[in-house]
Amino acid sequence: MTPLSPQTRTNIDYAADLIRQSNHAVILTGAGISTPSGIPDFRSTGTGLWSRDEPLEVASLSAFRTKPGQFFEWFRPLARQMFDAKPNSAHAALAELEARGYIKAIITQNIDTLHQKSGSKIVIEMHGTMETLTCTQCYHRVQAESYIGRYVECGEIPRCPKCAQVLKPDVILFGEQLPQAAWFMAQREARACDLMLVAGSSLEVLPVAGLPMQALDRGAHLIVINNMPTYINVRADVVILDDVATILPAIAERVLNG
């Protein structure tokens, strides 16, 4: 592990102070918090999923409706990675901060449920979840657990136990609206918080990318931890350009143990 620079350590201390002083801290996470768990992100040059595939061709609602087999073939390696993934130290750090009362909610763009697996309780999933599937014909909803194994191992497309039509993972594809309840909850948290910490998100996908602005407009502090710069860095109190799996545990350690 590369030693942290003096400036990074100073920023970690400042971030910890802001968290300790806050009354309503909210976390916004993106794909970068799950890449240390082996799940690829979407936009990194050369390694991101969209550097290899055209999203509208493989991951749009229209593509799923017309060619569900093509979607499931494309999605299978990613589903396997999510199925096998374990929470990393960044997830664990946030779960501990929540358990100790320093975090009120986690807003996530991820569909991998790693926050929940690490023990976080208040998780607002903006892009849906891999935990359930819904029938495209009769809208019967099922738990994914009993279907995902056969799909990942054998490529078996999941079908509705009631009408035998294709089951769609409850993830948000291109061309779909965000879950209304989740969006309302996320806006409420962004407007109520006095501190927002962005972890592992490039903040390139609207409308979620606008949540930090909603927080700032109401006087909240802002911390950004990401490998690459974001549009909001110039407005942040603290910016740390580093791996969240290194930085978040260090911040949590300072918050909890001084």
Strands (E), the chain: 25-29, 105-108, 123-125, 128-135, 141-143, 167-171, 195-199, 221-225, 238-240
H helices of 85-168, in order, are 89-99, 114-118, 145-154
Determine the Cα–Cα distance for residues 67 and 141; give it in Å rounded to an integer.
21
Token pair 């779909």 in the structure block, residue: 176
Active site residues: 127
Question: To which H or E segment does residue 11 belong?
Answer: helix 6-21
Determine the Cα–Cα distance for residues 170 and 13; give it in Å rounded to an integer.
39
